[in-house]
Amino acid sequence: MKRDSRFELLRIVSMFLIILSHFEGWGQGVRLTALNGHFLRGGVAASYLSLGKLGAFLFIMITGYFVGHKEYQEKRTLEKALQIWTYVFYYAIIISLLVVTLRIAPFSRQMLLHSVFPFFTNAYWFVDAYIILMLLLPYLNKVIVSFSRASLIYLIILLVLLGNVMCQLGNTAFATNSTFGYILPAYFIGAYLKKYECHVRHPYIKALALYIIVIVCAGVSYKYFAGLRANFFTDGPFQTIIATLIFIGVINQKAYHSKVINLFAKTVFAAYLITDNDYLRSTVWSFFSFRSVTELWKINLLGIPSVILLLILVFVIDQIRIYVFRKISVSSLIITCIDRTFQLIRNVG
């Protein structure tokens, strides 16, 4: 079945936004320590920092839209989770070998554990949250399928309050901004938009307007309140709303198929795995620190072509991974292992 390129392009855009926020957060981290008392600098920083969680929500909404209305058996979701794990495992091992060979960092038992068990050692919070989502799909989807429209709306509002609002106000009982509970509302929103029609006039314009409001509010926070709760505007519920408006806009577009877009979309996840690796992150972003440039807004302009270049380079790099996985039939091996495991469980039972 041909993938709908509307959503494959959105997948590319979502990862572009995530990495652009990393360009700001990691590449310009030193400059971000001097934002307090500066409205313009605070707003400029927030213009990129707010894109990370926006991209993450869009990525999860795509998953919710396509699988949230389906019934999944545990075996199928375990297969999906293991496919993601092998993807992460491949890059964790390759990057560790590269880091040690180039003496970027010394070999350690911690590095070994992060490489072999990326899921269990919290090497990538977003991957961990996504794998948990895959494992819980059979049960989450039963809720989505069985709930009425009103009940589903209530649940989404409740999850946004608990997962996207409360944690930004300091209450982390349900979620932090790097846990499963934080991305859960986006999954239900994506599934809701598939199950029920939602008409919004000019969703892109409204998303842009809210994005500008977020930047201004964050700037005010840095100027007058020493950045107090600026994260509420860059990592909070506003990103959920903006992502929802963008997603509705994509749904309203006419479906189409582009081989180029679909091919490129297969590799963007690797860009996250490479640029946000604990041992490679500082080295990667040191190439895009632009120390000779003083104005943050000029640096941010340079960030756009920098991230595009990274995505293109990763596209080339990930072709090797695709070739290797195809040669050793990773998907078939995973399916075989899972089938034998469940057969053993049935025999024991």
Output the DSSP codes for 207-255. Answer: HHHHHHHHHHHHHHHHHHSTTTTHHHHHSSHHHHHHHHHHHHHHHHSPP
Burial 128-137 (b: 16+ CB within 10 A, else e): bbbbbbbbbb
Give residue 121's pLDDT: 82
Return the domain boundaries, the chain: 5-348
Q: What is the pLDDT of residue 348?
A: 63
- Calculate mean pLDDT across residues 129-133: 94
How many whole angstroms separate alpha carbon 40 and alpha carbon 17? Answer: 21
Crossing angle of helices 237-252 and 203-224, in 10° steps, is 160
Please answer whether residues 15 and 127 qualify as being in contact, where contact means their C-beta atoms are separated by less than 8 angstroms.
no
The pTM of this model reads: 0.93
What pLDDT, on the 0 to 100 scale, is given for residue 158? Answer: 97
Helix (H) or strand (E) holding 11: helix 5-22
| Residue 69 pLDDT > 70 | yes
What are φ and ψ of residue 176, in 5° steps?
-110, 180
Residue type, 110: Q
CA dist., res. 85 & res. 87, Å (int)? 5
pLDDT higher than threshold 60 for residue 349: no
Query: Mean pLDDT score of the chain, rounded to an integer?
Result: 92
Taking residues 247-254, report their average pLDDT. 96
pLDDT tens figures, 149-183: 999 999 999 999 999 999 999 999 999 999 999 99
Q: What is the DSSP string of 115-131?
A: HH-TTTTTS-HHHHHHH
CB atoms within 10 A of CB 150: 8
